Amino acid sequence: MAYTSGGRRSYLFGQLPIADAFLVWGNAVAVQPPLPTPGGWRGWFQLLSLAVAGLAAWWFRRPPARTKPVAAPEPAPAHTTPDNGEPLPW
């Protein structure tokens, strides 16, 4: 939350002028050499990402597995009357 009064902008409800805080922070931080980073990891990461993307594309675009055809079930017997075994007229 910025607070502006008399052409001066400050933060923390007017208690902390931002420019002064930045200057103090910049002078208080110790200068350190940059940390060493392992080289060449970006190339390996990109190759691994490309391989994973290729495998995913192949997996989702491959044709479904073929299965053995299932035999059709036998047709149901015609409806018969319980007394003479003759088919019903309808």
Residue 37: the pLDDT is 77
Residue 56: the pLDDT is 95
Walk along the chain (90 residues) and give the pLDDT tens digit of each residue.
566 667 776 666 666 667 777 778 888 888 888 888 777 888 889 999 999 999 999 999 988 877 787 788 887 666 655 566 666 666
Helix or strand or coil: residue 10?
strand
What is the C-alpha separation between 90 and 78, in angstroms, rounded? 10
CB atoms closer than 10 angstroms to residue 62: 8
Residue 12: the pLDDT is 64
